[in-house]
Amino acid sequence: MFDLILRNGTVFDGTGAAGRLMDVGVRKGKVAAIGKLGDYATEFVDCSGLTVAPGFIDIHTHSDATLMTDPDGYSLLMQGVTTEIIGNCGFSCAPCFRKELVEKFMVGTMPGQEFRWKSFGDYLDLLQAQKPGLNVGAYVGHNTVRLNIIGNEPRLADDDELTYMGNVVRQALDEGAIGVSSGLEYNPGFHSDLRELVAIARVASEYDATYATHVRNRDWQYEMGVGEGLATARIAGARLQLSHLVPKVGAPEHAADHILEMMEWTQKLGIDVGYDVIPHEWGPTFMYTVLPKWAYEGGVVAMVERLKDPVLRPKLKYNPFPQWKLVGEKRWSELVLMRSGANPGLVGLNFEEIGRIRNTDPHDAILDILLEEGENMADVTWVGKISPDRDIRLMLAQSECAVISDAITLNNSGPLKDIRFAPTAFGWTARFLGHYARDERMMDLAAGIRRLTSLPAKRMNLARRGELKPGYFADIVVFDAAAIADNATLQDMNATPTGLAHVFVNGQAAVSEGKRTSVRAGEVIRRSSKP
């Protein structure tokens, strides 16, 4: 007797094997059997004409703070994602011993939101108590660890601090973090050197946990950025994940080919090198990354003072190494404001338009908006047309390339309803399966499903997830493969995709007939074994 039978769908197990017309039986939150299963179940869902697959896994999100505001997981569930991995690019909500710094530099915080936890374990306990709508695993972020130990100081770590940082990372891994992430284009991670990165990657390696890195550069100095990530993993012996690895505007045309070759050399040494790609040309980041490095000194209070100073203004605008070369090239129409508490009316407009409305140079408009946000300037985000489509395709064409959103979980109702982050927040799986895999004929459905299921589960060492097999967790998505389509646009970013029918998280219906139910059945996934 099953609790649930998904009847008569084309079942893909997630390994890349072809789909077969079958039933999937679920009992006590797990897949119990796959085959022709008869009539012994409490509940049936007719899947005729539909694709049945393991729930999709998003191994790169930034929902650490938003899940605490609203644990529903609506934006990801409505596109079939049943597990997300938070804490990427060096930023996690925990540990949080220096609240004033960790809160200020975290993405997705809401006005008045307070971080009520200290250790990583405290945070995971509170996250579980929130009852998330989908499963969540969390990296501990190097930027967060550094803020706790060195603060916002623009300098290298000394030996004692390196030992301390290693111990803090070790404790987070003991308490359930599934890996360690770094974000080397961001403050304060960009002050670290290879010695510091190797020290934290070594701790990841002790635990056979993943070291994921947002590399220091992916445009002018992409060789240095990617090379540093590869060297860190090689020296530390760590399993590596190179995050959102598409060259950005400003990189030479051969960069993507060269990056693939660089990775191959390191893989030949037996180092486990993985990578992932955002299936979209437009990507998000903090808008304050437009500022030159020296402007961060003293933290947000000092940053606000500098923005106020008319004498400093030309210096702030002179940034020889902006994080996005779109800024240096003054491609203002390819930069769109996504979130601003002080200027909600400008959200969704590009900086050519904003400059015109404000009757000012677009670059000044950017700095003015940051100033108007004051100490909450880390909450201001934008998206830029940063990734050439030809490079996205080249990366996606590699069979081991994973796919990610790089977004935050959002919702069309409740406290997060007015937040926009990136077109991938609601549409990344549908864009990958519908646009790239199906319409652009980059791969067949079985191969496309594997990219979203067993491939990311293996990268993250997620036990019994990512495949449909007896004994595995019943994270399941049912969709119409011919119809699945991304509807998110820059103007209407929070549009849910077409073609999604049902989503089950740990055997419970999170989406039914295309509608989100009230069930929140997600589990916080913790690293279980100690080294």
Interface positions with Zn ion (CB under 5 A):
89, 214
Q: Please, what is the minimum distance in Å from the beta carbon of residue 338 to Zn ion?
A: 15
Helix (H), strand (E) at residue 464: none
DSSP 186-250: STTGGG--HHHHHHHHHHHHHTT-EEEEE-S-SSTTHHHHHHHHHHHHHHHT-EEEETT--PPTT
Query: In which region does residue 172 sit, left (phi positive, over 0), alpha (psi from -120 to 50) or beta (all else)?
Result: alpha
Q: Please, what is the minimum distance in Å from the beta carbon of residue 269 to Zn ion?
A: 26
Query: In which region does residue 161 sit, left (phi positive, over 0), alpha (psi from -120 to 50) or beta (all else)?
Result: alpha
User: What is the identity of the amino acid at 42?
Assistant: T
Q: Please, what is the minimum distance in Å from the beta carbon of residue 386 to Zn ion?
A: 11
The answer to whether 470 and 32 are in contact (CB under 8 A) is: yes
Smaller CB separation from Zn ion, 64 or 72: 64
DSSP strand pairing (135-141 vs 179-183): parallel
DSSP 128-189: HHT--SSEEEEEEEHHHHHHHHTTT-SS---HHHHHHHHHHHHHHHHTT--EEEEETTSTTG
Smaller CB separation from Zn ion, 19 or 388: 388
Smaller CB separation from Zn ion, 133 or 388: 388
Residue 472, token pair as written in the block: 């595995």
Q: Please, what is the minimum distance in Å from the beta carbon of residue 90 to Zn ion?
A: 8
Smaller CB separation from Zn ion, 279 or 362: 279
Smaller CB separation from Zn ion, 202 or 214: 214
The answer to whether 402 and 277 are in contact (CB under 8 A) is: yes
Q: Please, what is the minimum distance in Å from the beta carbon of residue 181 to Zn ion?
A: 9
The answer to whether 459 and 241 are in contact (CB under 8 A) is: yes
The answer to whether 26 and 2 are in contact (CB under 8 A) is: yes
What is the rounded distance in angstroms from the CA atom of residue 367 to the CA atom of residue 371? 6
Place of tokens 């190797």: 198
DSSP 352: H
DSSP 298-310: THHHHHHHHHH-T
Q: Please, what is the minimum distance in Å from the beta carbon of residue 42 to Zn ion?
A: 44
Residue 265, token pair as written in the block: 């050399």
Q: Please, what is the minimum distance in Å from the beta carbon of residue 88 to Zn ion?
A: 6
Smaller CB separation from Zn ion, 214 or 216: 214
Smaller CB separation from Zn ion, 214 or 239: 214
What is the rounded distance in angstroms from the CA atom of residue 89 to the CA atom of residue 59? 12
DSSP strand pairing (500-505 vs 401-403): unpaired
Smaller CB separation from Zn ion, 367 or 422: 422
Smaller CB separation from Zn ion, 31 or 230: 230
Smaller CB separation from Zn ion, 214 or 385: 214
The residue among 228, 231, 194 whose CA lies nearest residue 214 is: 228
Q: Please, what is the minimum distance in Å from the beta carbon of residue 186 to Zn ion?
A: 8
Q: Please, what is the minimum distance in Å from the beta carbon of residue 303 to Zn ion?
A: 21
Smaller CB separation from Zn ion, 47 or 277: 277
Q: Please, what is the minimum distance in Å from the beta carbon of residue 214 to Zn ion?
A: 4
Q: Please, what is the minimum distance in Å from the beta carbon of residue 89 to Zn ion?
A: 3
